[in-house]
């Protein structure tokens, strides 16, 4: 028998991934802002003797997509339609949830509703008559509290009942325009492949859904449809006085509101004073200094904790390695062993403390619900560039890792905004570059300089956003911010730790082995005398432009693989003591170059996938140009101050 496929669909931030994680034991990023999941993920599940495939979808506010992540959800839902859809709805946002229920019912796939975040609804004083809701919609409705796993078994049980009964909900949106829909449907049936729901296509054509319009265009059926569609649209307009697409949306929303009011009673409750104050503070004009303080705190706390842990870790390591002191005559073997030891030390003392503490602090922040509020505040500034406040979220994610940040650009509307945001992201110092700032600047130059570098970087990012935004005429394509804000939630340490691990584990599994191999490799090159040749070859160029010795090129080459390698190999090559080889100015210039010069391999691959080759090459070119200008200017200007 074919395996049952169950899809988790719902508005952004309703708790789909929380349910997915609970059932699959996998880990999809969970957090408190809309737009975390931006691709569909399928996993096999075995729960209470039942086997099925569970699919986690990107959040969809409505089934008329406006951004790439919503389009991905639509495409997958129609082209690979699941046997059953579990709509993960938010009980605290009943109107919007019911709106989506109505749309899913129209689609004609059996659905059931998980009325999630039910605990919060109770806390907010909502009493929801679940049975009545189920009766009105004609589909099962089950209250759930995903974070505690409540109601999830029942959800699976009901989903399986639906697979067999195939019962669908009642379609109620279309009453007024039934004849027109039927007329269009009869034409559509002539060419629409069977796998598509023709009734839904007809409705969506009246709704002027761009996704359906594109499908029709792909089927080369625009011409056959045009006449009848125009005619029926005109007839609707004549009888109702409204544009058909607006009529449908208006109707659906009105029905959703009516149902919500019918099934929900609200009793007044006193809300947490602390959260309320925090909420109003973080969206008021005090929100700007607060944002600066929050960001600075994350960086200072990370770098500070890094400094603290570094001493402990390297102390421990040095103590331990005393037991394994090598005394080997073979120069090659001894080089390999000392290289391995040195790189392990550098990895443990530079990488681990920074990466883990940054992701931990950031996870707490992104679980709190602060991000969307910051996006609201920053919207005006982003509009000046031609983006909107939503772009703040991928930009901020860029400080963790550029790769998911670039993928998250899918939550933005429009190709140009996605391109400009992705470009800006590549300039943002991710955790890997933070390791460089920490390892070279915070340790050898000072914390103030480290923060100054962050500020300078931010200035460059905004400036480039502005310049490129202007030159691609961003404004004409970009729409304003439209975002639903989730409530503040108290972060749970356990969840933050899990997220930290999922975001930082690459540094352990992927980076550390390469670092050890790479160090040994460089040591061998050194022994073979190749480093000297490389140096001689590139010295003129690097000394001429940046006042840096030619051998830094090899660090930069490694840094293109993963940014932190630039620091690691600099450290292992210079025997952990850069100040005896490089001046403070040279250290700052080198750091600045590493911030800008090129997206790492993983980011480049992601960019090609998200934006295609041409735009990726443009981004790489702009990166290089900025690095050269900044590096050169710094090497000229900085000596004037010292």
Partner 1 sequence: MNIALTHLDEGKVAVIKEMDLDNHIKKRLMALGLLPNSRLKVLRIAPLKGAILMDVGGYPLAISHDLAEKILVRELE
Which residues contact ligand GTP (rule: CB under 6 A)? 10, 12-18, 30-32, 34-37, 59, 116-117, 119-120, 145-147, 367, 489
Q: How far apart are CA 359 and CA 365, in angstroms?
A: 10
- Token digits for 422? 């992705």
The verdict on 622 binding partner 1 (CB under 8 A) reads no
Contact partner at residue 307 from Mg ion, partner 1, ligand GTP, none, CB < 5 to 8 Å by partner kind? none
In the complex, what is the shortest distance from the CB of residue 421 to ligand GTP, in angstroms, rounded to a whole number? 17
Number of residues that bind Mg ion (CB under 5 A): 4
Kindly list the distances between the CA atom of residue 45 and the CA atoms of 23, 53, 168, in Å, as whole numbers in the listed order.
Answer: 7, 6, 24
Name the one range near partner 1 by CB under 8 A: 163-171, 285-293, 311-319, 506-514: 285-293
The verdict on 526 binding partner 1 (CB under 8 A) reads no
Q: Which is nearer to ligand GTP, 149 or 532 (CB)?
A: 149
**Which residue from 388, 421, 586, 606 is in contact with partner 1, where contact means CB under 8 A?**
388
Q: How far apart are CA 87 and CA 113, in angstroms?
A: 5
In the complex, what is the shortest distance from the CB of residue 17 to Mg ion, in angstroms, rounded to a whole number? 3
Residues 14-43 touching Mg ion, rule: CB under 5 A, are: 16-17, 36-37
Kindly list the distances between the CA atom of residue 250 and the CA atoms of 99, 100, 120, in Å, as whole numbers in the listed order.
Answer: 10, 13, 28
The verdict on 462 binding partner 1 (CB under 8 A) reads no
- Token digits for 64? 């008329």
Q: Phi-psi region for residue 415, left (φ > 0), alpha (ψ -120 to 50) or beta?
A: alpha
Name the one range near Mg ion by CB under 5 A: 8-16, 214-222, 405-413, 582-590: 8-16
Residue 428 near residue 399 (C-beta atoms within 8 A): yes
In the complex, what is the shortest distance from the CB of residue 496 to ligand GTP, in angstroms, rounded to a whole number? 11
Q: How far apart are CA 298 and CA 103, in angstroms?
A: 42
Q: How far apart are CA 70 and CA 57, in angstroms?
A: 9
- Token digits for 177? 């325009």
Q: Which is nearer to partner 1, 11 or 341 (CB)?
A: 11
- The structure tokens 């544009």 sit at 243
In the complex, what is the shortest distance from the CB of residue 127 to ligand GTP, in angstroms, rounded to a whole number? 17
Q: Which is nearer to Mg ion, 37 or 40 (CB)?
A: 37
Q: How far apart are CA 562 and CA 599, in angstroms?
A: 9
- Which helix (H) or strand (E) is 22 found in, with range? helix 16-24
Number of residues that bind partner 1 (CB under 8 A): 45
In the complex, what is the shortest distance from the CB of residue 213 to ligand GTP, in angstroms, rounded to a whole number? 25
* Cα 375 versus chain centre, distance: 14
**Which residue from 172, 219, 300, 484 is in contact with partner 1, where contact means CB under 8 A?**
484
* Cα 73 versus chain centre, distance: 15
The verdict on 96 binding partner 1 (CB under 8 A) reads yes
Report the first-to-last Cα separation within the chain, whole angstroms.
75
**Which residue from 33, 99, 350, 361 is in contact with partner 1, where contact means CB under 8 A?**
99
In the complex, what is the shortest distance from the CB of residue 36 to Mg ion, in angstroms, rounded to a whole number? 5
Residues 53-72 touching partner 1, rule: CB under 8 A, are: 61-62, 64, 66
Long-range contacts of 281-288 (CB under 8 A, 24+ apart): 282/370, 282/373, 282/374, 282/377, 283/373, 283/376, 283/377, 287/373, 287/374, 287/377, 288/377
The verdict on 11 binding Mg ion (CB under 5 A) reads no
The verdict on 260 binding partner 1 (CB under 8 A) reads yes
- Which helix (H) or strand (E) is 55 found in, with range? strand 50-56
Q: Which is nearer to ligand GTP, 158 or 310 (CB)?
A: 158
In the complex, what is the shortest distance from the CB of residue 144 to ligand GTP, in angstroms, rounded to a whole number? 6
Long-range contacts of 373-380 (CB under 8 A, 24+ apart): 373/279, 373/282, 373/283, 373/287, 373/485, 374/282, 374/287, 374/291, 374/294, 375/481, 375/483, 376/283, 376/481, 376/483, 376/485, 377/282, 377/283, 377/287, 377/288, 377/291, 378/291, 379/480, 379/481
Contact partner at residue 120 from partner 1, Mg ion, ligand GTP, none, CB < 5 to 8 Å by partner kind? ligand GTP
- Token digits for 92? 């605290």
Name the one range near partner 1 by CB under 8 A: 27-35, 202-210, 448-456, 526-534: 202-210
**Which residue from 283, 334, 338, 535 is in contact with partner 1, where contact means CB under 8 A?**
283
Kindly list the distances between the CA atom of residue 474 and the CA atoms of 68, 419, 420, 461, 619, in Å, as whole numbers in the listed order.
Answer: 17, 10, 8, 16, 16
Residues 286-325 touching partner 1, rule: CB under 8 A, are: 287-288
**Which residue from 4, 29, 55, 92 is in contact with partner 1, where contact means CB under 8 A?**
92
In the complex, what is the shortest distance from the CB of residue 513 to Mg ion, in angstroms, rounded to a whole number? 31
Contact partner at residue 243 from partner 1, Mg ion, ligand GTP, none, CB < 5 to 8 Å by partner kind? partner 1
Angle CA(454)–CA(460)–CA(461) in degrees, nearest 5?
85
In the complex, what is the shortest distance from the CB of residue 8 to ligand GTP, in angstroms, rounded to a whole number? 8
Q: Which is nearer to ligand GTP, 232 or 367 (CB)?
A: 367
Q: Across the beta sheet with 50-56, what order do the strands follow?
A: 41-47, 50-56, 4-9, 84-90, 111-116, 141-143
In the complex, what is the shortest distance from the CB of residue 93 to ligand GTP, in angstroms, rounded to a whole number? 11
The verdict on 481 binding partner 1 (CB under 8 A) reads yes
Residue 20 near residue 130 (C-beta atoms within 8 A): no
- For 31, half-sphere exposure in the C-beta direction (CA atoms, 13 angstrom radius) is 27
Contact partner at residue 506 from Mg ion, ligand GTP, partner 1, none, CB < 5 to 8 Å by partner kind? none
Binding site for Mg ion (CB under 5 A): 16-17, 36-37
Binding site for partner 1 (CB under 8 A): 61-62, 64, 66, 92-93, 95-96, 99, 207-208, 210, 243, 245-246, 249-250, 252-254, 257, 260, 266, 280, 283-285, 287-288, 372, 375-377, 379-380, 383, 388-389, 479-485
């Amino acid at each position: 028998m074919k395996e049952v496929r169950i899809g988790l669909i719902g508005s952004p931030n309703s708790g789909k991934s929380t349910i997915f994680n609970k059932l699959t034991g996998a880990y999809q990023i969970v957090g408190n802002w809309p737009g975390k999941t931006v691709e569909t993920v399928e996993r096999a599940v075995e729960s209470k003797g039942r086997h099925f495939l569970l699919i986690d979808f990107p959040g969809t506010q409505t089934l008329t997509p406006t951004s790439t992540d919503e389009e991905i959800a639509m495409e997958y839902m129609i082209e690979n339609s699941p046997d059953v859809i579990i709509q993960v709805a938010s009980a605290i946002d009943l109107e919007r949830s019911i709106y989506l229920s109505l749309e899913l019912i129209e689609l004609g796939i059996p659905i059931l509703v998980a009325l999630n975040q039910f605990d919060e609804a109770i806390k907010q004083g909502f009493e929801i008559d679940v049975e009545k809701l189920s009766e009105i919609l004609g589909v099962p409705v089950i209250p759930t509290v995903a974070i505690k796993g409540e109601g999830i078994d029942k959800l699976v049980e009901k989903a399986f009942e639906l697979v067999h009964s195939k019962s669908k909900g009642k379609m109620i949106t279309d009453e007024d325009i039934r004849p027109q829909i039927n007329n269009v449907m009869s034409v559509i049936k002539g060419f629409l492949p069977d796998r598509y729901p023709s009734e839904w296509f007809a409705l969506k054509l009246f709704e002027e859904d761009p996704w359906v319009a594109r499908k029709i265009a792909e089927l080369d059926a625009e011409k056959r449809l045009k006449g009848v569609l125009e005619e029926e649209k005109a007839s609707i307009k004549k009888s109702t006085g409204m544009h058909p697409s607006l009529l449908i949306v208006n109707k659906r929303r009105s029905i959703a509101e009516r149902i919500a009011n019918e099934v929900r009673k609200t009793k007044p409750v006193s809300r947490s004073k602390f959260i309320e104050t925090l909420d109003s503070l973080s969206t008021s004009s005090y929100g700007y200094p607060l944002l600066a303080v929050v960001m600075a705190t994350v960086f200072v706390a990370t770098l500070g904790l890094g400094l603290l842990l570094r001493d402990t870790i390297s102390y421990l390591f040095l103590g331990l390695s005393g037991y394994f002191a090598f005394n080997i005559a073979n120069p090659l073997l001894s080089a390999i062993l000392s290289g391995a030891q040195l790189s392990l030390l550098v990895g443990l003392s530079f990488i681990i403390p920074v990466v883990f503490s940054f992701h931990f602090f950031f996870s707490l922040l992104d679980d709190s619900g602060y991000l969307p509020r910051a996006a609201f505040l920053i919207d005006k500034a982003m509009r000046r560039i031609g983006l909107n406040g939503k772009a703040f979220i991928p930009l901020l994610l860029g400080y963790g890792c550029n790769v998911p940040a670039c993928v998250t650009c899918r939550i933005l509307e429009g190709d140009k905004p996605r391109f400009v945001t992705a470009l800006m992201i590549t300039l943002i110092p991710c955790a890997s570059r933070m390791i460089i700032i920490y390892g070279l600047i915070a340790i050898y130059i000072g914390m103030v300089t480290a923060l100054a570098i962050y500020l300078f970087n931010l200035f460059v990012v905004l400036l480039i956003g502005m310049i490129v935004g202007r030159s691609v005429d961003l404004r004409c394509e970009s729409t304003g911010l439209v975002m639903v804000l989730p409530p503040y939630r108290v972060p749970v340490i356990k969840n933050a730790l899990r997220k930290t691990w999922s975001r930082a584990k690459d540094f352990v599994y992927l980076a550390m082995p390469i670092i050890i191999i790479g160090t040994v490799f460089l040591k061998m090159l050194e022994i073979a005398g190749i480093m000297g040749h490389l140096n001689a070859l590139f010295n003129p160029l690097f000394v001429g432009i940046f006042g840096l010795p030619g051998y830094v090129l090899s660090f930069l080459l490694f840094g293109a693989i993963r940014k932190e390698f630039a620091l690691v190999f600099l450290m292992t090559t210079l025997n952990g003591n850069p100040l005896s080889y490089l001046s403070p100015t040279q250290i700052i210039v080198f750091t600045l170059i590493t911030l800008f010069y090129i997206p790492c391999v993983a980011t480049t691959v992601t960019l090609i996938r998200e934006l295609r080759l041409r735009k990726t090459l443009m981004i790489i070119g702009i990166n290089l140009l900025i690095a050269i200008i900044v590096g050169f200017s710094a090497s000229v200007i900085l000596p004037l101050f010292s």
